Structure 1
Amino acid sequence: MTMIALGLAVGTGLFLGSGGAIAIAGPAVVVSYAIGSLIAAIIGACAGEMAVRYPVRGGFGTIAGKFISPYAGYLTRWAYWATTVPLAGAELVAVGQYMTYWWPEIPLWIWVVASAVLIVGLNFASVNSFGTLEFFLSSIKVIAVVVFIIFGLILVFFGLPNTPPPGLTNLHADGGFMPNGLSSIWLALAIVMFSFGGIELISVSAAEAKDPVRSVRSAAKAMMWRLAFFYVLSLFVVVALIPWRDASTLKDEIETSPFVMVFSQMHIPYIAGITNFVVLVAALSGANAALYAATRQLHSLGSERMAPRVFARTNGRGVPAQALALSTLGAIVAVVLAISGVGGIFTYMMALVTVCVLVVWAMILISYLKFKKVEGNKSPFTVWGGAATATVGLIGVIATFVAMFFIGDMLASVAVGLGFFLLITVIYFAGVNKQIATNDDAFAEAKTMTAQIPTVQKK
């Protein structure tokens, strides 16, 4: 379960999208990622506490419907579906761009089509097959990030026989640590927070876990410290080894990543190619996990009549095939944009994902505040600081959303995202609100499950 969440949270946002954040904040992007890690940890922990108490189908969306309002549950789940669908497409575009590192003569769209066919086929397999594969793919990139950090720190402070160590010189050599001012740390959050999309997937996958209470609790704890470790140290290595202006040149049309640049500039044989392979695996893993999340969310919407009932059906392998078919929309859009030759596809899709995921995170945190008033500390896993900590996270989410209005490349995607929310709101009040099916039985069953946990285990 931890690896499924990391399948999204450690992906192209780290390997590919970090170039745009570096362009805004310079070396101070390390601080942006540290703040982002804190906000993400709060969101993941709050979602985890609620999922441990109520491991219900639909995860945090179902919980929002119970503790805020049916409309909140409807909005949260459609927002999450709208997050994961373009995210799958963005990851597929990243796969194509990574492949052009080796075969630049082959059109981008061919790679996007090939990878789309692959992940859709994988998601049509059984749930067990998906979990096993995602664990394998995520393990590869998690191990690679750890190796990158260790090897990168050696290069920073000790160097190689023919490469002197740069030390901390690149952190202040070109305009200082904050070349674009203190506000750049805040503005960079508009890009940085895209990287952490996926932390909430623990809550979604809880309903399919064999032992959701134990699984969610341990996964939430493991994910929080791993995210901070991976992101902060990885970006420190990048900006310490590469002058920040060089790393930021990849922010518009990215055919490699800052991670590949690190080893390319150090002239280490084969390492750049190996690193490119790792980030390619990361993108495939992210696309796979995003499509899984979108499918399960749409399946949940269909089951509670917030979407057509056809999406509630599953095939003989337990896969919601109709929900999966519609959720491939992001992959289809990515293919069409790649064939049409539209520039900056990844940037546009990243901005749209960020708008939607910020709405989801805000709803998770608001749900948590309501949840704490009703449930107190009855969950076997509790967040340190409780409601106060969640409030800090909510302020961070709001600040990130405001920052998006100051990034020119994101304004179009922000408008599309807001238009989507307006559309689904109109549909809700036009009739969906009159036919929503409640999930009270699932909540009662979940409460019984957590009540049976021994006291010592709760501690």
Structure 2
Amino acid sequence: MAMIAMGSALGTGLFLGSGEAIGIAGPAVIISFALGSLIAATIALSMGEMASRHPVRGGFGTLAAHYLSPFWGYITRWLYWIVTVCVTGAELVACAAYLAYWVPAIPIWAGILIFAAVIIAINLSSVGSFGIVEFFLSSIKVIAVFAFILVGAVLVFFGLPDAPAPGLTQLTADGGFAPNGWAAVWIALSVVMFSFGGIELLSITAAEAKDPARSIKTAARTTIVRLAFFYVFCIGFVLCLVPWRTAAGSGEDVATSPFVMVFDQLGIPGAAHITNLLVLIAALSAANANLYAGSRMLHSLASDGLAPRFAAHTTARKVPLVGIALSSVGLIGAALLAFSGVGGVFGYMMSLVVFAVILVWALILCTYIAFRRRKISGATFRMPGGILTAIVGLIGLVAVFATIAVRPSMQVAALVGVPAVLVAVVLYMAVARRRTDPADIEEAFAEAEAMR
């Protein structure tokens, strides 16, 4: 379960999108990642506490319906489905960009379709097979990231025979530690938080775990610690080895991972190609995990009468076939955008994800506050600070959301996201409200109790 969550979160946000964040804040982006880790920790731990008590089908969406209202449960689940669709598309854009590093002749749209076929095939297998493949893919990138940290530490502090150790000098060499001002640390959070998208999978996978009460307790704690350690140290070593303006690439049209740049610049034979392969696996793993999450979320919506009933159909191996097909719309959309020649596809999709996932995370924390106020017993662990910590997390999310005032791509995301939310509200009032049956939610909770 921890590896599936890592598979979604440890992907393009770190390996490719970090270039844009570096361009905004310079070396001070390290602080942005540290702050993002703290905000993400409040979400992962609060969600883990609730899921350990209620490993329900539909995860945090069903919890929101139970503890807030059916309306907020509906909005939470549909928003998260939009998040998974966009993330899956964005990750495959990155996969295609990594492929172009080796074979520039293959257009981005063709690369997207190639990798789309791969992850759809994986998701069409049984959940057990999916878990094994995702564990394998996630393990590769977790080991690779850990190895990068070790190699980076050696290069930074000891160097090579033909490449002297730079130490920490690069962090202040070009305009100081915060060359674009301290406000840029805040603005960069709008990019950084994309890197933590995927921690929600801890809640969704609980319904298919053999021992959710024990598994969630371990997975929630280890996932956030690993992510914080990986993000802060990886970005720190990249910025120590490569000038921040170089690592930033070309803004939102980042064509090469900053991690590949490290080895390209140092001239270590073959290392850049190995690194490019590893970051491609990371992006493919994240896309694979998000397609899984989106198909399960759509299946739970259909099962509860909040989406077309045919989307609840599963195969003999319990695979939500229709959910996978409908959740693949992001793959097709990304390919069409790339084919049309629209620039900055990855940057705009990333901003739309951040816009939607912030709303989802805020609702998760609101659900947690309602959960704790009811003094529910039986959770296998508690988030330190309880409601107070959740409120701090909400303040952090509001601060990230406020970047919409200064970032054009976030404003474009709002132009898409706000109408999407309004359409969902209208559909709920016109159709879904009449279909909402509290008995469906209670049935999900009864199933969860049986699992415990």
TM-score scaled by structure 1?
A: 0.96
Q: Which residue of 2 is the match for residue 443 of structure 1?
A: 445
Q: Which residue of 2 is the match for residue 80 of structure 1?
A: 80
Matches within 5 A, 1:269-348: 269-348=269-348
Matches within 5 A, 1:26-37: 26-37=26-37
- State which drifts further: 427-436 or 278-287: 427-436
Letter in 1 for 2:207: A
Q: How big is the shift at 1:378?
A: 3.5
Letter in 2 for 1:442: A
Q: Which residue of 2 is the match for residue 453 of structure 1?
A: none
CA distance in 2 between partners of 1:208 and 1:376 (Å): 23
| Cα deviation code 1:339-379 (max 9, x no counterpart) | 11211110011011111111110000000000001135531
Q: How big is the shift at 1:95?
A: 0.5
Give 3-state SS (helix, strand or coil) of 1:160's partner: coil
Q: Which residue of 2 is the match for residue 216 of structure 1?
A: 216
| Cα deviation code 1:88-139 (max 9, x no counterpart) | 0001110000001011122111111110111111111111111000000000
CA distance in 2 between partners of 1:447 and 1:103 (Å): 52
CA distance in 2 between partners of 1:83 and 1:286 (Å): 13
TM-score scaled by structure 2?
A: 0.98
Mapped contact 2:20–2:254 kept (Cα < 8 A): no
| Cα deviation code 1:266-307 (max 9, x no counterpart) | 110000000000000001101100100000000000011111
Q: Which residue of 2 is the match for residue 183 of structure 1?
A: 183
Give 3-state SS (helix, strand or coil) of 1:47's partner: helix
Letter in 2 for 1:385: G
Query: Over aligned residue pairs, what C-alpha RMSD do you find?
Result: 1.1
CA distance in 1 between partners of 2:315 and 2:91 (Å): 27
Mapped contact 2:115–2:284 kept (Cα < 8 A): yes
Q: Gaps (5+ residues) in structure 2?
A: none
Q: Which residue of 1 is the match for residue 155 of structure 2?
A: 155
Q: How big is the shift at 1:447?
A: 4.2
Q: How big is the shift at 1:262?
A: 0.7
Mapped contact 1:55–1:206 kept (Cα < 8 A): yes
Q: Which residue of 2 is the match for residue 117 of structure 1?
A: 117
CA distance in 2 between partners of 1:377 and 1:247 (Å): 48
* Compared CA separation, residues 185 and 296, structure 1 to 2 (3 A): same
* Compared CA separation, residues 246 and 66, structure 1 to 2 (3 A): same
- State which drifts further: 308-317 or 31-40: 308-317
Q: How big is the shift at 1:221?
A: 1.1
Identity of aligned residues (%): 54
Q: Which residue of 1 is the match for residue 129 of structure 2?
A: 129
Give 3-state SS (helix, strand or coil) of 2:314's partner: coil
Letter in 2 for 1:101: Y
Give 3-state SS (helix, strand or coil) of 1:348's partner: helix
Q: Does 1:256 align with 2:256?
A: yes
Q: Which residue of 2 is the match for residue 193 of structure 1?
A: 193
CA distance in 2 between partners of 1:435 and 1:262 (Å): 54
Q: Gaps (5+ residues) in structure 1?
A: 451-459
Matches within 5 A, 1:345-424: 345-376=345-376, 378-424=378-424
Letter in 2 for 1:48: G
CA distance in 2 between partners of 1:35 and 1:303 (Å): 38
Q: Which residue of 1 is the match for residue 234 of structure 2?
A: 234
Q: How big is the shift at 1:80?
A: 0.3
CA distance in 2 between partners of 1:403 and 1:223 (Å): 27
Q: Which residue of 2 is the match for residue 18 of structure 1?
A: 18
CA distance in 2 between partners of 1:250 and 1:210 (Å): 46
Letter in 1 for 2:136: F
Q: Which residue of 2 is the match for residue 265 of structure 1?
A: 265
Mapped contact 1:97–1:254 kept (Cα < 8 A): no
Q: How big is the shift at 1:313?
A: 1.6
Q: How big is the shift at 1:312?
A: 1.3
Q: How big is the shift at 1:441?
A: 2.8
- State which drifts further: 368-377 or 209-218: 368-377
Mapped contact 1:89–1:330 kept (Cα < 8 A): yes
Q: Which residue of 2 is the match for residue 454 of structure 1?
A: none
Mapped contact 2:5–2:200 kept (Cα < 8 A): yes
Q: How big is the shift at 1:449?
A: 5.3
